[in-house]
């Protein structure tokens, strides 16, 4: 089953490679991983999407907790939470396709960030399935580049992951 694990890490060089190294050393899956500093510059917040049986997920959380640089960890899969991912897509657009692509972007509440004579850069946010759906609605041969942030997630309400 897919799990979303949120971590607060010491903002130290090497903290990211400790997490990534753990997953490769123990042959766990990583579907996506995103990390950046928080409002407290001594800590980084990581959102990690993985999958496995209950036993494997239990081991993953225990092994992550064992890393000295991991300050706190929460598997937010089972709790009410908000998921978002941001995607930038560069598409080749010419002639009538310009209108068509803009119309699709509007349907997905996408924003066109850059326009040239032959290309658009479109920003779309949402959960993973929405981004997949957007990609699928475009003409594949027109897609020049796709950049995705990996999933970000945060628990709803009072419950949360804080220092």
Partner 1 sequence: MELSGSQILMQFLKDEGVEYLFGYPGGAVLHIYDEIYAQDDVKHILVRHEQGATHMADGYARATGKPGVVLVTSGPGATNAVTGIATAHMDSVPLVVITGQVPTHAIGSDAFQEVDCVGITRPCVKHNFLVKDVRELADTLKKAFYVATTGRPGPVVVDIPKDVTRPDLKIPYEYPGTVAMRSYNPVMRGHPGQIRKALDLILSAKRPMIYTGGGVVLDDAADALVKFTRILGYPITNTLMGLGAYPGTDPQFIGMLGMHGTYEANMAMHHCDVLIGIGARFDDRVVGDVNKFCPEARIVHIDVDPASISKTVKVHVPIVGSVGKVLGEINGMLEGSNRRPDGQALAEWWERIHRWKSIDCLAYTPSDTLIKPQSVVEKLYEATGGDAYVTSDVGQHQMWAAQFYPFDKPRRWINSGGLGTMGFGMPAALGVQLAWPDAQVACITGEGSIIMCIQELSTAKQYDLPIKIVNLNNRYLGMVRQWQEFMYENRESHSYLDSLPDFAALAESFGHVGMTIDKPADVEGALREAFAMKDRLVFMDFITDPAENVYPMMMAGKGHNEMVLSEQTRQRELA
Residue nearer to partner 1 on the CB measure, 74 or 122: 74
Q: CB nearer to partner 1: give 19 or 87.
A: 19
CB of 34 to partner 1, least distance (A): 20
What is the nearest approach in angstroms of partner 1 to the Cβ of residue 43? 9
- In angstroms, the CA 116 to CA 94 distance is 10
Distance CA 64, CA 5 (A): 10
Tokens in use for 97?
A: 């396709």
Q: C-alpha angle with apex 9: 5 to 13, nearest 5 degrees? A: 130
| Binding interface with partner 1 (CB under 8 A) | 10, 13-14, 17-18, 21, 25, 55, 58-59, 62-63, 65-66, 68-71, 163
Which stretches within 48-160 are classed as H helix? 54-66, 97-107, 128-137
Residue (14 or 160) nearer to partner 1, CB: 14
- Nearest distance, CB of residue 16 and partner 1, angstroms: 12
């Amino acid at each position: 089953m897919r799990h979303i694990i949120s971590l607060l890490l010491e903002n130290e060089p090497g903290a990211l490679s400790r997490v990534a190294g753990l997953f490769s050393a123990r042959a766990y899956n990583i579907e996506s991983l995103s990390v950046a500093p928080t409002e407290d510059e001594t800590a980084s917040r990581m959102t990690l999407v993985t999958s496995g049986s209950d036993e494997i997920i239990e081991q993953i959380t225990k092994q992550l907790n064992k890393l000295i640089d991991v300050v706190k960890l929460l598997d937010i899969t089972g709790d009410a939470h908000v998921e978002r991912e941001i995607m930038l897509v560069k598409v080749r657009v010419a002639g009538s396709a310009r209108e068509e692509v803009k119309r699709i972007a509007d349907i997905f509440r996408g924003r066109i960030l850059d326009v040239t004579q032959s290309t658009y850069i479109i920003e779309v946010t949402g959960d993973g399935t929405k981004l997949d759906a957007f990609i699928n609605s475009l003409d594949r041969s027109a897609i020049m580049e796709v950049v995705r942030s990996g999933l970000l997630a945060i628990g709803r309400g009072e419950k949360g992951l804080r220092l």
